[in-house]
Amino acid sequence: MRLLIAALSGGLFGAGLVISGMTDPAKVQGWLDVFGQWDPTLGFVLTGAILPMALAWRVAARRHSALTGGDLPPPPPQTIDARLVAGAALFGLGWGFSGLCPGPAMASLSFGGPSFLIFFVAMVAGMLLFSVWNRRA
Amino acid sequence: MNPDWIAGLVGGLMIGAAAALYLLGNGRIMGASGLLGGLVDGSGRSNRTERAVFIAALIAVPGLLVAAGQAQASAPVAGSGALVLAGLLVGFGTRLANGCTSGHGVCGISRLSRRGIVATLVYLLAGGVAVLLAHALGWTA
């Protein structure tokens, strides 16, 4: 059952990404290009995504467990630390340069061609680099 | 209304519904960088099959939609060198910040998480700076 939900959720996520335009790097750069030819489309994507999720959090607050029986996530940590800010800044730079973030990068793999594969491999390498650095830090 | 905006809203609602299903069904936060990162560094060993199934569907369904002519394939906006740099930054940065657009943006903001809101403001700002830089440096595919 957990695997079926994971497949449905992953498939719906992928469909939403490709239909919304999130997998189009030009559109993403257009959204971030506030001082140039600003394209507000991604604002609609983010708003559309937050609405059902805000409802889901309200439902989750009244439940003791997930439908498959496991725990629901604990309340979010509140700490704003250097890791959060520095990590978000590095991520944002990469996002702006390429027009790709992790979800759309994976969703584009099946149709994007070699450029998207290069980005994906570099992203996995970045994750591995972090893991090595984090063990030393 | 601009048809792109309607597609954005509809696609966004699907993304949010996927996150809601994952939360209420499996009790997990749908964060793309965390789901993948846990497989990459082994920290998600305990539920790796679930992660792999999620990612397999996330990769396969867009491919099917594009093949069926229901969605547009897209082109890169940067050359290989810039893509490698960007990929390294996205991979390292999302693990350091413990989340990306889906985890901090969609799942975090919707529960008014302080960390999610701050991360989203920072990566939007950095993204804007990066686009200005990329244009100034003439980085194109």
Closest CA to B14 of A19, A94, A84: A19
Comparison of pLDDT for A37 and A21, the residue scoring more: A21
Per cent of chain B over pLDDT 70 is: 100
pLDDT at B108 exceeding the cut of 90: yes
Enumerate the domain spans of chain A: 2-136
Report chain A's C-alpha Rg in angstroms. 17
CA of B46, closest CA in chain A: separation in Å? 13
Does any CB of chain A come closer than 8 Å to the CB of residue B46? Answer: no
Which pLDDT belongs to residue B139? Answer: 86
Enumerate the domain spans of chain B: 75-141
Average pLDDT over residues B42-58: 97
Confidence of residue A67 (pLDDT cuts 50, 70, 90): very high
Distance CA B122, CA B117 (A): 9
Which pLDDT belongs to residue A59? Answer: 97
Which pLDDT belongs to residue A29? Answer: 96
For B130, the token pair is: 């990066």
CA of A116, closest CA in chain B: separation in Å? 7
CA of B18, closest CA in chain A: separation in Å? 5
Confidence of residue A123 (pLDDT cuts 50, 70, 90): very high
Distances (CA, A) of B25 to A4, B28, B44: 10, 8, 18
Closest CA to A29 of A114, A120, A97, A115: A97
**Which single residue is written with the structure tokens 């609609």?**
A44
Rounded (5°) CA angle A124-A128-A130: 115
Helix A41-61 and helix B3-26, axial crossing angle in degrees, nearest 10: 20
Contact A124 B10 (CB under 8 A): no
pLDDT at B99 exceeding the cut of 90: yes
The answer to whether B114 touches B50, Cβ cutoff 8 Å, is no
Which pLDDT belongs to residue B141? Answer: 74
Which pLDDT belongs to residue A35? Answer: 85
Contact A93 B93 (CB under 8 A): yes
CA of B112, closest CA in chain A: separation in Å? 9
Confidence of residue B140 (pLDDT cuts 50, 70, 90): confident
Closest partner residue to B33 among A21, A41, A102, by Cβ? Answer: A102
Confidence of residue B2 (pLDDT cuts 50, 70, 90): confident
Contact B130 A94 (CB under 8 A): yes
The answer to whether B96 touches A87, Cβ cutoff 8 Å, is yes
Which pLDDT belongs to residue B102? Answer: 97
pLDDT at B1 exceeding the cut of 80: no
Compare all CA atoms of chain A with the CA of B7 and give the residue at the minimum distance. Answer: A20
The answer to whether A98 touches B86, Cβ cutoff 8 Å, is yes
Q: What is the ipTM of this complex?
A: 0.96
pLDDT in tens, B20-30: 999 999 999 99
CA B59 from chain centre, in angstroms, equals 12
Q: Compute the 3-state secondary structure of chain A and give helix, strand, coil in percent, each to the nearest 5.
A: 70, 0, 30
Which pLDDT belongs to residue A137? Answer: 76
pLDDT at A93 exceeding the cut of 90: yes
Closest partner residue to B14 among A7, A16, A86, by Cβ? Answer: A16
